[in-house]
Amino acid sequence: MDGNGRWAKTKGKFRIFGHKSGVNAVKEVSEAAAELGVQCVTLYAFSTENWSRPQKEVDALMELLVKTIRGELPTLQKNNIRLRAIGNLESLPTACRESLQDALNQTKNNTRLELILALSYSSKWDMVNAIKKIAEKVTLGELKASEINESTINNALSTYEWPHPELLIRTSGEHRVSNFLLWEIAYCEFYFTDTLWPDYTKEDLYEAILSFQKRERRFGKISEQILEKTEE
Ligand code: FPP
């Protein structure tokens, strides 16, 4: 969800105004994804590296998260959306952790869409934790090093419950992955748009999905093999 700061700057406003306006785009995307039958959406809301921003911005973002999570809870319930979270949640301020935990509990039986917030998240952080978990099992003799395979790693990551993403959208003209789901995006399709996050609408999501639908996903195979399979 990139470009909030620049969006605010073009309007002569403070960066936090951009973040606040970004909440509308969060609503647009969640609603459109639910309507389209998308099952999982992960929003990169706050990275491990974002803690290094000016304290004022960090505090304002945390406050905005609390306000948004509390304020949007009735809409999540109404739309049957289950809120989930990945990241170092223990590092979040108490009010943020509590409102998040409350929303996670209250929406746990919702089934239409899983809306996963990546908060205080970075993929390298997740991988380090996963490696520690696996190493611990090896130390305890519960797992042999030779038995470690892709599913051992999948299962040790915080994303173990969800399928790997098919489409990654980055806004604001930046062409970087920024420590996001590095393991999980091995075969993901990337979509980059110049639109700044606060301007992102349902139509922008439709465009990204239409582009995704035109792509041939070969997963290392050749085109003919893919066509054979679809013709069967
Ligand atoms: C990146 O833009 C955006 C963020 C670090 C924060 C995104 C958070 C929100 C939109 C609030 C969402 C709330 C919920 C509940 C998900 P940037 O600040 O890096 O923009 P810039 O690159 O233009 O400076």
Q: How far is the CA of 19 from the centre of ligand 1 (A)?
A: 5
Q: Is 88 a catalytic residue?
A: no
* Whole-prediction pTM: 0.95
Residues in the chain: 232
Helix (H) or strand (E) holding 230: helix 223-231
Local confidence pLDDT in tens for the 232 residues of the chain: 999 999 999 999 999 999 999 999 999 999 999 999 999 999 999 999 999 999 999 999 999 999 999 999 999 999 999 999 999 999 999 999 999 999 999 999 999 999 999 999 999 999 999 999 999 999 999 999 999 999 999 999 999 999 999 999 999 999 999 999 999 999 999 999 999 999 999 999 999 999 999 999 888 999 999 888 777 6
For residue 170, is it within any domain? yes
Contact of 41 with 113, CB cutoff 8 Å: yes
- Shortest-distance Cα residue to atom 1 of ligand 1: 2
Residue span of the structural domain in which 208 resides: 4-214
CA 5 – ligand 1 centroid, Å: 8
Q: Is residue 221 part of a domain?
A: no
The reply to whether 230 falls in a domain is no
Closest to 82 in 3D by CA, of 108, 63, 60: 108
**224 in any annotated domain:** no
Q: How many CB atoms lie within 10 A of CB 10?
A: 10
Among candidates 77, 52, 64, 66, which has minimal Cα distance to 18? 64
Q: Pocket residues for ligand 1 (CB within 6 Å)?
A: 1-6, 19, 22-23, 26, 43, 45-46, 50, 61, 64-65, 68-69, 117, 172
Residue 116 belongs to domain with CATH number: 3.40.1180.10
Q: What's the total number of domains in the chain?
A: 1
Q: Is residue 227 part of a domain?
A: no
Contacts of 118 (CB under 8 A, 6+ apart): 42, 43, 44, 45, 46, 47, 85, 86, 87, 180
The reply to whether 166 falls in a domain is yes
Question: CA gyration radius for the chain?
Answer: 19
